[in-house]
């Protein structure tokens, strides 16, 4: 089933419309167009982060496509909040009145919230609706104005795929999706939303720099702005990150500005090139992705702990039983 925010209709999957939000997560298995054999030539921050964290994790999650099922609430809540904000900006660009657009976003939050597992008290259907209403109330007249593409649509979920360098005559690309490109105080910023249970203090802010995700986004934005357009009239100044603290009985917001300089971006691109040329290519040629065991127990534990804690001969069976396969293809635009 899909939700059509412009008309407030629920429509079955066999109806084709240009602006529909799927209400369930399809198990997408399709040929991965970012790979030639077992070598990846289109890279995004997720695959770069995975191979740096643990090559075996990269094999399981990116090459084989194994993911936890059902999707954890911590991940799904953030995906839904992003989707609702994308719909908000698209509705406004269609000329919809803000109060009506808010009602449509609240309905969407309620529909998507049905899929949350209710295993986390701060990430439920109710807290998703509350975060949507309170956030859009606070940022109804956002001083960061969304940039508009040449075709008149807003620069939200802006997909890119940019050539970086060649290996053995194969072009290597950087790909991804920018949540929102906006202008604030006459400068271009990339905007993102981050939900957390924790305080929105210095510790929260420190998690965004250094960052594979944001340095990759800013690297792409710098490249894209080399030819000025309505989306990128000038190079980006930095990031606007809206922190969203989720409590059981409250939601708080705080906006942060993060600056990442051009030399830092250049360093990111150099590191990415070495990682692909030395690590990714070497592992692919050897057809072996070694375990990085210092990463197993970080941040609450790797999602493949239950696999790697068993002998090698048991792992494929555990993966097939406890995980679903979804193709992670950075080359696919959203
Ligand atoms: S559990 Fe450890 S070795 Fe296994 S994929 Fe995760 S980080 Fe790598």
In tens, the pLDDT along 157-198 reads: 999 999 999 999 999 999 999 999 999 999 999 999 999 999
Between CA 256 and CA 243 the distance in angstroms is 7
Between CA 5 and CA 112 the distance in angstroms is 13
Ligand 1: which of 292, 310, 322 to mutate, most ligand atoms within 8 Å of CB?
292
Q: 305 CB less than 6 Å from ligand 1? A: yes
Residue 305 alpha carbon, nearest atom of ligand 1: 1
**Residue in the structure block whose two tokens are 């075996």:** 56
Q: 58 CB less than 6 Å from ligand 1? A: no
Q: How far is the CA of 267 from the centre of ligand 1 (A)?
A: 27
258 pairs with which residues across the strands? 239
Atom 4 of ligand 1, residue of closest alpha carbon: 308
**Residue in the structure block whose two tokens are 């053995």:** 168
Between CA 85 and CA 64 the distance in angstroms is 31
pTM for the model:
0.94
**pLDDT, position 170:** 96
Atom 2 of ligand 1, residue of closest alpha carbon: 296
3-state secondary structure (DSSP) of residue 274:
helix
Q: How far is the CA of 74 from the centre of ligand 1 (A)?
A: 20
Using an 8 Å Cβ cutoff, are 131 and 246 in contact? yes
Q: How far apart are the first and last CA of the chain?
A: 18
Residue 60 alpha carbon, nearest atom of ligand 1: 5
**pLDDT, position 27:** 62
**Residue in the structure block whose two tokens are 């097939």:** 320
Atom 1 of ligand 1, residue of closest alpha carbon: 305
CA atoms within 13 A on the CB side of 184: 19
Between CA 148 and CA 150 the distance in angstroms is 7
Q: How far is the CA of 62 from the centre of ligand 1 (A)?
A: 13
Q: 89 CB less than 6 Å from ligand 1? A: no
Ligand 1: which of 302, 314, 315, 322 to mutate, most ligand atoms within 8 Å of CB?
302
Q: 214 CB less than 6 Å from ligand 1? A: no
Atom 7 of ligand 1, residue of closest alpha carbon: 296
Between CA 146 and CA 190 the distance in angstroms is 10
Neighbours of 220 (CB within 10 A): 25
Instruction: DSSP for 304-321, please give it.
Output: THHHHTS-HHHHHHHHHH
Atom 3 of ligand 1, residue of closest alpha carbon: 291
Q: 303 CB less than 6 Å from ligand 1? A: no
- Taking only the tens of pLDDT, the chain with its 334 residues reads 999 999 999 999 877 777 999 998 766 788 999 999 999 999 999 999 999 999 999 999 999 999 998 888 999 999 999 999 999 999 999 999 999 999 999 999 999 999 998 888 999 999 999 999 999 999 999 999 999 999 999 999 999 999 999 999 999 999 999 999 999 999 999 999 999 999 999 999 999 999 999 999 999 999 999 999 999 999 999 999 999 999 999 999 999 999 999 999 999 999 999 999 999 999 999 999 999 999 999 988 999 999 999 999 999 999 999 999 999 999 997 7
CA dihedral 126, 157, 244, 45 (to 10 degrees): 120
Q: 103 CB less than 6 Å from ligand 1? A: no
Using an 8 Å Cβ cutoff, are 197 and 244 in contact? no
**Residue in the structure block whose two tokens are 């660009």:** 93
| No. of helices (H) and no. of strands (E), the chain | 11, 14
Between CA 278 and CA 27 the distance in angstroms is 33
The C-alpha R_g of the chain, in whole angstroms, comes to 20
Q: 194 CB less than 6 Å from ligand 1? A: no
Distances (CA, A) of 174 to 180, 221, 226, 287, 332: 18, 11, 16, 23, 12
239: left (phi over 0), alpha (psi -120 to 50) or beta: beta
Between CA 115 and CA 76 the distance in angstroms is 9
CA dihedral 95, 97, 98, 100 (to 10 degrees): -120
Ligand 1: which of 304, 307, 322 to mutate, most ligand atoms within 8 Å of CB?
304
Distances (CA, A) of 33 to 45, 284, 330, 332: 17, 16, 8, 8
Between CA 104 and CA 323 the distance in angstroms is 34
Using an 8 Å Cβ cutoff, are 65 and 323 in contact? no
């Amino acid at each position: 089933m899909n939700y059509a925010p412009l008309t407030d209709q629920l429509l079955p999957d066999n109806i084709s419309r240009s602006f529909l939000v799927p209400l369930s997560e399809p198990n997408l298995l399709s040929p991965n167009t970012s790979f030639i054999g077992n070598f990846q030539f289109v890279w995004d921050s997720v695959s770069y982060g995975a191979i740096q964290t643990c090559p075996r994790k990269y094999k399981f999650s990116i090459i084989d496509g194994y993911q936890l099922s059902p999707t954890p609430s911590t991940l799904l809540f953030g995906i839904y909040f992003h989707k609702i904000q994308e719909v908000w900006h698209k509705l406004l660009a269609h000329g919809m009145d803000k109060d009506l657009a808010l009602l449509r976003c609240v309905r969407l939050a309620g529909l998507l919230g049905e899929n949350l597992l209710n295993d986390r008290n701060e990430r439920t259907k109710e807290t998703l609706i509350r975060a949507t209403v309170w956030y859009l109330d606070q940022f109804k007249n956002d001083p960061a104005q969304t940039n508009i593409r040449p075709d008149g649509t807003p620069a939200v979920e802006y997909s890119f795929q940019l050539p970086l360098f060649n290996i053995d005559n194969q072009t290597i690309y950087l790909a991804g999706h920018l949540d929102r490109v906006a202008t604030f105080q006459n400068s271009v910023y990339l905007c993102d939303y981050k939900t957390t249970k924790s305080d929105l203090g210095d510790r929260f802010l420190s998690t965004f720099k250094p960052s594979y995700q944001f340095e990759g986004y800013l690297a792409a934005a710098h490249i894209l702005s080399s030819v000025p357009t309505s989306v990128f009239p000038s190079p980006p100044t930095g990031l606007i990150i809206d922190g969203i603290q989720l409590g059981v009985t409250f939601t708080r917001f705080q906006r942060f500005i993060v600056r990442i300089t051009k030399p830092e971006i250049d360093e990111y691109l150099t590191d990415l090139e070495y990682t692909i040329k030395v690590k990714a290519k070497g592992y692919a040629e050897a057809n072996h992705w070694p375990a990085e065991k210092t990463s197993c127990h970080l941040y609450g534990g790797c999602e493949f702990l239950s696999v790697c804690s068993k002998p090698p001969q048991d792992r494929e069976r555990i993966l097939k039983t406890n995980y679903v396969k979804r193709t992670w293809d950075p080359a696919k635009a959203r």
